[in-house]
Structure 1
Amino acid sequence: MPNSARHTSASLATRLASWLSQAIQRRWYSRPGWLWLLFPLELLFRGLSDARRKRLQADAKYFPVPIVIVGNISVGGTGKTPLLVALVKRLQQRGFNPGVVSRGYGRKSSPGSADVIVLDKASTAHAVGDEPLEIFTLTGAPVVVAEDRVAAVELLLKQFDCDLVLADDGLQHYRLGREIEIAVVDAKQLLGNGHCLPLGPLREPLNRLTRVDHILLAGAVDAEYTIQQMLVEQGLPLHQSVCCFSPRLCTLVHLQTAQEFSLEKLTSFDRFEAIAAIGNPQKYFNALEELLGVDNFNRHSFPDHYAFSAKDLTDFADKPVVMTAKDAMKCKAFAQPNWWYVRLDTDVPDIVVDSIALAVAAKSIERPNVESL
């Protein structure tokens, strides 16, 4: 087949895949419609997931310090990373010494790799993943990445004097024993049509939320009632701890120098390029427009965890570029003088911080049958 024909075929396949993905996403966050054809696959998925959970929980490993899970039951971005960063900072302010473990999604390692990596100042997003590097850069807390979160905790506690561990996106990593579970939900999209994959966006059934300690809604402050209503409609009990948190743009940071500026500096750009490779790029673009009050930027969306290279942004070399902190982790090596990222900040509900503090106090009393390192 000639090169031109192969290129055309590949292009058509890419467009078809993109169209199908968008069509499925629309059904996930509205009525299922034609996706009802996949209902048998949802039943199979739920059965396999439940069997997997029971098998892994039977061999769960607990540690001398509390393990706090920050995760979700749906696919896509829900705002976990800004929350985790803010939570680490709040705990540090209270005098705790938290560590973080993560899978390091998107890092370039061989499938099934047993690598356990401790982040340091020389770490790159390519090697450890963009979100773990963002957490490490913004908090200074010790961070370890590994597909096996148990191995990550073991190494973390061996090398650092941590009194608790936060596990990034480990809600379904059931071999890791945990004291507290925090489920993060996007307040606008909520849980979509309420179905599990592939009929809906859920990794686990809605009743999973009744077993977590806290449900945190990222965004609208009136979504607490809605999530409780969803539980009631499914015949499930109301949850005792449902709170909202609102990530907000707070600081403009220069990529080359790490110098910080007020967000007012954005108004000095006649027009700039806004770049986002996150789970929900539109949320970032909307926040920029709301902040500025005008639409003086061009939007450029990339797939979540996209591995940027210099050639991807060649057209923007001489233009002001404003990206997310997550994307900045992958673009520092080839950053241009007029490139920036916006750092997020968020409030963490006191009830969450207080419950973690109580868990640390409880773990300080030696428990029987807890495996020591």
Structure 2
Amino acid sequence: MASFYPLFYKITHDEPGYHFLKAVAYGLSGGYFLGLKLHQWLYKTGWLKQKSAPCHTISVGNLVLGGVGKTPFTMFLARLFKNMGKKVMVVTRGYKGQTNHPLVSNGYKTLLTPLEAGDEAYLLAKNLKGIPIIRGKNRYQAIMSVFKDFLPDIIILDDAFQHYALKRDLDIVLLSAHSPFGKGHLLPRGRFREPISALNRAQAVVITHVKEENQGKKLKKFLKKRFPDLTVFTGDIEVEKMVSIQGKEIELSALSDKCLLAFCGLAEPVYFYQTCKDLNLGITHFLSYPDHHRYTKKDVLHLIEIAKKNKIDTLITTEKDMVKLLAFSPLFTEANCSILYPSITMHLYQIEAFISWIKGKLGF
């Protein structure tokens, strides 16, 4: 997968060249579209049955592969409901997790490792204290296996817009202001998981990576014209603090004169690179790995080698990547290399309007 990923990235982002492979990918996109329509038809006609959880259920998802901020938004939404006094449970697929055990966290103790849970499930468990985190490819089965233990008022389904098997009260879709529709092609030719018409199923869109409230007006206007019943909000992902692999907070001022090596394993590494630039960090070297990359000792030694060769003693990565590097902390310590991540949060510009909207939709 790692060797194929750079080629996949170039094709889906429509970089110059690769005409034959793009033509093949375009043909495969046609097959993907037919499979998608068949899948939807089977649920629409009742051949496949949708199931319902015994409480309010909200899906957070996207149309375009990666990079929109689903995990930060899921955490924002879970904390919002918790602060309203609601009992919340978050359910995720647990992509690349190595166990079938559904309970990642009971809200007070994380019960699985990053490799067992999957990076995003573990990240949710690490950050959402007092909120149970459940994982499973079959979301309904995972929910029902623990429902009586927690009796939630609200279940948040992380990355579930395309998960038709489970009914929900609300679908909230995130779109990036930088590239809301990718290059306009379905997978594997482009980055669309579904055509834009799928937004007819959603009740709200959150446009992310909006640096100021008045930005994103053109996209917002397009969405309101194309989907009149859709409620549109805007927001951005903000850095709260810098944190070391040992969990120590680091002042940004301490990094101002340093040359830094940044790396990540994300679907859209450009967003992490831009975050580093927005923080005025002196990034002299940047490496990207495939999304959900599992780091090995060889990877870590390679990073340390690059850092030492260029007289760099501080590395920057994402929190999602950091959870998979915890086991290698002694290697960084032995090499006198610090490794940090920016702790991020989702900020909505229309927060009061959003709270009013969601209360109205759920009857609170």
Which TM-score band (shorter chain)?
0.7 to 0.9
| TM-score, normalised by the number of residues in structure 2 | 0.82
Q: Percent identity?
A: 23
Which residue of structure 2 lines up, in the alignment, with residue 163 of structure 1? 153
* SS, match of residue 97 in structure 2: coil
The 5 A counterparts of 1:149-298 are 149-220=139-210, 221=213, 222-226=215-219, 228-229=221-222, 236-256=226-246, 258-267=247-256, 270-292=258-280, 295-298=282-285
Which residue of structure 2 lines up, in the alignment, with residue 366 of structure 1? none
Structure 2: gaps spanning 5 or more residues? none
* SS, match of residue 74 in structure 2: helix
Q: Which amino acid aligns with 1:209?
A: L
Supply the distance in 2 between the matched residues of 1:297 and 1:150 (Cα, whole angstroms): 46
Q: Which amino acid aligns with 2:222?
A: Q
CA distance change for structure 1 residues 158 and 224 in 2, over 3 Å: closer, same or farther?
farther
Supply the distance in 1 between the matched residues of 2:194 and 2:148 (Cα, whole angstroms): 33
The alignment status of 1:118 with 2:104, answered yes or no, reads yes
CA distance change for structure 1 residues 272 and 23 in 2, over 3 Å: closer, same or farther?
closer
Supply the distance in 1 between the matched residues of 2:42 and 2:136 (Cα, whole angstroms): 21
Q: Which amino acid aligns with 1:345?
A: T
Supply the distance in 2 between the matched residues of 1:344 and 1:307 (Cα, whole angstroms): 21
Supply the distance in 2 between the matched residues of 1:28 and 1:266 (Cα, whole angstroms): 34
The alignment status of 1:86 with 2:73, answered yes or no, reads no
* Alpha carbons 1:65, 1:360 under 8 Å: kept: no
Deviation at 1:296, TM superposition (A): 4.1
Supply the distance in 1 between the matched residues of 2:272 and 2:30 (Cα, whole angstroms): 35
* Cα offsets for 1:204-256 (capped at 9, x unmatched): 12111122011111113522422543785xxx433531121100222111212
Q: Which amino acid aligns with 2:114?
A: A
Deviation at 1:96, TM superposition (A): 1.8
* SS, match of residue 45 in structure 1: helix
| TM-score, normalised by the number of residues in structure 1 | 0.81
Supply the distance in 1 between the matched residues of 2:187 and 2:300 (Cα, whole angstroms): 34
Q: Which amino acid aligns with 2:175?
A: V
* Alpha carbons 1:217, 1:242 under 8 Å: kept: yes
CA distance change for structure 1 residues 23 and 320 in 2, over 3 Å: closer, same or farther?
closer
Question: Which has the larger displacement, 120-129 or 139-148?
Answer: 120-129
* Alpha carbons 1:163, 1:360 under 8 Å: kept: no
Supply the distance in 1 between the matched residues of 2:164 and 2:9 (Cα, whole angstroms): 31
* Cα offsets for 1:7-54 (capped at 9, x unmatched): xxx9xx94xx4564243123289xx99846765544443232122123
Structure 1: gaps spanning 5 or more residues? 1-9, 363-373
